[in-house]
Amino acid sequence: MRNTKVVTLEEAIRRSGLKDGMTISFHHHFRGGDKVVNMVVAKLAEMGFKDLKLAASSLSDVHAPLIEHIKNGVITGISTSGLRGELANEISHGLMDEPVVFRSHGGRGSAIANGELHIDVAFLGASSCDELGNASGCPRSENAKSICGSLGYALPDAKYADHVVVLTDDLVEYPNVPKSISACDVESVVVVDSVGDSSKISSGAIRDSKNPRDILLAQQAAKVIINSGYFEDGFSIQTGTGGASLAAVKYIRESMIEKGIKASFALGGITAHMVKLHEEGLIGRLIDVQSFDKVAAESIASDQLHQEVSAIEYASADNPGSAVHALDIVILSALEVDVNFNVNVLVGSDGIIRGAVGGHPDTAEDSALSIIVCPLLRGRIPCVVPKVTTLITPGAGVDVVVTEYGIAVNPRRPEIAERLKAAGLKVVDIHDLAAKATSVIGVPDPLPFGDKVVGIVMDRHGKVLDKIYNIVD
């Protein structure tokens, strides 16, 4: 008996046994183009649900409609990696009574696996799915409407949620292979007009920079890598989404060709830059938890050496098999770094949430060499500060900070400082960078925080790392 899983969204929700107070989950592979969260929560509101806990792998600007659902009591709890736009602004001003719980991608994977984050019903968008629920982020027919590539952040949900609903905008003939989500984990399949706008995947955090300062920072970061002692045949690398860290790949590529060095794998959010190096034979394998653009999504659809991994396989702290444990070098960006090498990537220097934890703490802690690339100042906003507004990545895992005014090396890694100095790079004390910033902009007045906790930052091991308070205008 086939075809029984394909139902309407309302029927899928009814079948799931969802009740007020339960936890629903979503992935963010369509990033700024996501349509699933708003569609499903609107339906849940229409059906009269209240007091639901929303566990997303991340949320962005497009999720502003959640504000009304929070005001109406449909959503009373959120856990996510990030928040941006008007939803973030409202939450920073105290919209919710229950603080938002922020976890890293690896931390979320671990929390789902060990039961700390229990998901009652997962609603997972997919670009193709068959009638039994074999789902993929890759298009599989002429009628395909979307492509998101890896479904890495959805895989823990699919595996551990009590009930899984796949939403797809292309119902394809059985069997939909290769699959990301197994039909054995899926209870219902819902066909919708659109699960997401793929053209908006590479919006938001990811930009390809032509800014001369970003290019300078990228060149410096590349020099740090090349002279770090880790740049040898078979090395592995991950880059974050900042303009400078993406641009650094270009300079590393030139050096790889010149020296005849090849990388064993690139990890993480995979971009067109990494796909290009892989296709040129400079990177052996791509390990992809999230395809950051269309080129990466198309590559994972066609290239067997471009492998999808789940958030757990990517970055779980307590699973010794996760890929971050094998990672040599990671380049990351930052909103703020402090004199103890602590990093904030979540809360802006105006006290308003405007970013995402992402894989930052996961990769910084487990990689052999973590490099933070950020300008000393963004306008009048200092990026090297005495103390970060919110602690996201503890300084113990951060090795090098690259700014346009010099490179600071964590005192825990004196051997790296020596290598960089020997290569003629300008190594400076991080306190001098913070002092330089202050000399240009003056001492900022303290932020007008209130006394309501609006966010709790969990570390990747499941402990509370920091609290975010409401901001008062």
- Which parts of this chain interact with another protein (CB under 8 A)? 349-351, 378-381, 440-442, 444-448
Nearer to another protein, 314 or 469 (CB): 469
Nearer to another protein, 297 or 437 (CB): 437
List the structure tokens of 284: 């052996």
Nearer to another protein, 97 or 350 (CB): 350
Q: How many CB atoms lie within 10 A of CB 295?
A: 18
Nearer to another protein, 378 or 461 (CB): 378
Nearer to another protein, 21 or 444 (CB): 444
Q: Identify whether the C-beta of residue 389 lies closer than 8 Å to the C-beta of residue 351.
A: yes
Q: Identify whether the C-beta of residue 314 lies closer than 8 Å to the C-beta of residue 363.
A: no
* Residue 427, φ and ψ in degrees, nearest 5: -95, 125
Contacts of 1 by beta carbon, 8 Å cutoff, 6+ apart: none
Nearer to another protein, 144 or 215 (CB): 215
Nearer to another protein, 445 or 451 (CB): 445
Q: How far is the CB of 11 from another protein (least distance, A)?
A: 48
Place of tokens 């067997």: 304
Nearer to another protein, 178 or 444 (CB): 444
DSSP state of 299: H
Give the C-alpha separation, 251 to 260, whole Å: 14
Give the C-alpha separation, 16 to 18, whole Å: 5
Q: How far is the CB of 51 from another protein (least distance, A)?
A: 34
Nearer to another protein, 340 or 438 (CB): 438
The alpha-carbon radius of gyration of the chain (Å, integer) is: 22
Nearer to another protein, 381 or 453 (CB): 381
Tell me which residue of 108, 111, 110, 139 sits closest to 27, measured CA to CA.
108
* Burial group, residue 254, by CB count within 10 angstroms (0-12, 13-18, 19+): exposed
Helices 212-226/243-259 angle, 10° precision: 40
Helix/strand/coil for 179: coil
DSSP state of 307: E
Nearer to another protein, 109 or 382 (CB): 382
Q: How far is CA 60 from CA 66, 72, 141, 150, 257, in A?
A: 11, 20, 29, 19, 38
Judging by DSSP bridges, how do beta strands 336-338 and 355-356 pair with one another?
unpaired
Strands (E), 320-458: 329-332, 336-338, 343-344, 355-356, 369-373, 377-378, 381-382, 384-385, 400-403, 406-409, 427-428, 449-458
Q: Identify whether the C-beta of residue 99 lies closer than 8 Å to the C-beta of residue 76.
A: no
